[in-house]
Amino acid sequence: MVATLGLTGLRPDPRRITEVTAPPYDVIKKGSPLEALLTARRDSLAHVTIGPEPVEAFDRLRRDGALVPDEEPSYYVYEQRWGRGQGAEERTGVFVAAEVSPYAEHQIIRHEKTFDDKVRGRLALARATGHTFGPVFTLTRAPIGDVLAEAKEDPPLYEFDTDLRGLNDLHGLHSRVWRVPQASALGVKIQQTLGTEPLYIADGHHRYHAALLHPQTHALVYVTERARIQAYDRVVNGVRPFAEIRDQLKLRPTSGLHTPQKHQFCLATREGAWLLDAEHVPTDVVGRLDCSILERELYPRLGLTHSMIVDPAHFDYYPESQLDGMQAVVNAGEFDLAIALHPVSIEELMAVADAGLSDPSIVMPEKSTFFAPKILSGLFVYRHVMK
C-alpha cells in the first residue's frame, strides 16, 4: 500500500561513523552532559539537528568529508543489538524513502498528537537544508523479516558500537548496516513486500508532520516489524504542591520509584513514594490509557491544565529506564513530584491507530510512548524531492 523508493543523499564516511551518528534531537536535553559531549565532537550530526547554525554545520560536514554523497537509490537494512548475556536483544529494520500522503489516505497511520513548536522546528530545518537527518520510526504488518535477512548474508557497509559515555540509552548499541540498491533483485523484493501494508508511525510524528507541510514527495522512514515500548514518565511542578493534596488521594506507601502495574501510578517526592490506583478506567481506546487517566484524575488536583504539559516550568519527561534521574531532580528540588506509569502496549497503540482511521480525532495524548532503543540520526541523510 505504501510506495517506497531507495534513498539518495549523503551517508557517513565509514571511518567517522561513530562520531557522525547521534541520538535523535528530541532526547538531547539542553544543558545536559549528553549535549556537551555531542557538541564537543566536531563531526557530530548534533551540530545540525540541535545546533545554533545548522546550515553552516551541514556545509562543514560535507566539505570536510564526514558526509559523502550517495546518488544510487538504495535501501539500507539496519540491525541493532543491545544488552548482554541472556538479556541481549536485536531488531532489524530498513531505511526507505516512503511516499508522503495525507493521514486521510490511510497509508501512513498516526496514533499520537504533535506539539506545534516541534513541528515548526523540524520544518524550518528541512527548508533551510533541503534534507532530513533522522527517520520517522514506523511499524508494518508486512512480512519483511525474511527479506531483510537475505541482505544480512553479505558483509555490512557499516559495523560499529555507539559510545555515549553512558549518558543515553543508545550507549553501547551495536549497529550493522547493509546497502541494497533499489534496482537489485533484493531491492525490488523489499519494495514489493513493503508495498503490501500501510505504515504505522511509532515514533517521529513531528518529523512526518513536517514532511506533510514542507511539502516533499517522500520522507525518510525506518520500517520494522518489532518494537519495544517503554513507559514515558514525567516529573511535575504543580500549581499546588503535592503535599497540599496528598491527603485527598488513596495512597499506599511503596519502597521507591518504580514502574507500576497497569492502571496504577507510582508517585515519588523527597519524602517518600506511593502507589495510586486509577479511580475509573473507561472502555474507549484513548480514555483507558494510563496517561489519559493521569491527566483526568491527578493533574486537576495539582492545578495543572493540558496547555501546561509543554511548559518546562511544570513538566519534564523521561523514559522508563531513567527512574533514578527522575528521583535525582526531585531530590534536588528542581521538580516537586515524579510520576512513573505502566508502558503502553503495542496492542493499545494499534487499537488507537486503527480507530483513528474512521475518526481522525482519535489519537493518543502527547508523550504517551517511548520506543527503545531509538534510531540513530545520521546513518543516512535524505535529500528531499519537492512536489
Would residue 163 count as lying in a domain? yes
CB-based contact 28:44 (threshold 8 Å): no
293 shares a domain with 158: no
What pLDDT, on a 0 to 100 scale, did the predictor assign at position 83?
85
> Can you tell me whether residue 39 is helix, strand or coil?
helix
Would residue 364 count as lying in a domain? no
What pLDDT, on a 0 to 100 scale, did the predictor assign at position 387?
87
What is the domain extent for residue 215? Answer: 4-228+372-383
247 shares a domain with 179: no
The predicted-structure confidence for 196-206, as pLDDT tens digits, reads as follows: 999 999 999 98
178 shares a domain with 69: yes
The predicted-structure confidence for 63-95, as pLDDT tens digits, reads as follows: 999 999 999 999 999 999 998 777 789 999 999
The DSSP symbol for 306 reads G
Would residue 142 count as lying in a domain? yes
151 shares a domain with 70: yes
34 shares a domain with 108: yes
The CATH number covering residue 341 comes to 3.30.1760
334 strand-pairing partners: none
pLDDT of 335 higher than 80: yes
pLDDT of 1 higher than 90: no
Number of domains in the chain: 2
Mean pLDDT check: name the lowest of 172-176, 187-191, 207-211, 356-360.
Answer: 356-360
CB-based contact 102:212 (threshold 8 Å): yes
The predicted-structure confidence for 211-236, as pLDDT tens digits, reads as follows: 999 999 999 999 999 888 899 999 99
Count of CB atoms situated within 10 Å of the CB of 39: 15
188 shares a domain with 133: yes
Classify residue 313 as exposed, middle or buried by CB count within 10 Å of its CB (0-12, 13-18, 19+): exposed
82 shares a domain with 197: yes
What pLDDT, on a 0 to 100 scale, did the predictor assign at position 112?
83
The predicted-structure confidence for 110-128, as pLDDT tens digits, reads as follows: 988 777 888 899 999 999 9
What pLDDT, on a 0 to 100 scale, did the predictor assign at position 36?
98
CB-based contact 44:38 (threshold 8 Å): yes
Would residue 363 count as lying in a domain? no
Q: What is the average pLDDT score of the chain? A: 95
9 strand-pairing partners: 70, 382
Would residue 157 count as lying in a domain? yes
296 shares a domain with 223: no
220 shares a domain with 238: no
The CATH number covering residue 9 comes to 3.90.1530.10
Would residue 149 count as lying in a domain? yes
Mean pLDDT check: name the lowest of 5-19, 91-105, 119-133, 356-370.
Answer: 356-370
Grid look-up 504543580 returns 238
244 shares a domain with 96: no
The predicted-structure confidence for 238-282, as pLDDT tens digits, reads as follows: 999 999 999 999 999 999 999 999 999 999 999 999 999 999 999
What pLDDT, on a 0 to 100 scale, did the predictor assign at position 139?
94
Would residue 365 count as lying in a domain? no
313 shares a domain with 202: no
Would residue 69 count as lying in a domain? yes
Apex 139 CA angle, 232 and 262, nearest 5: 35
186 shares a domain with 100: yes
What is the average pLDDT across 17-46? 96
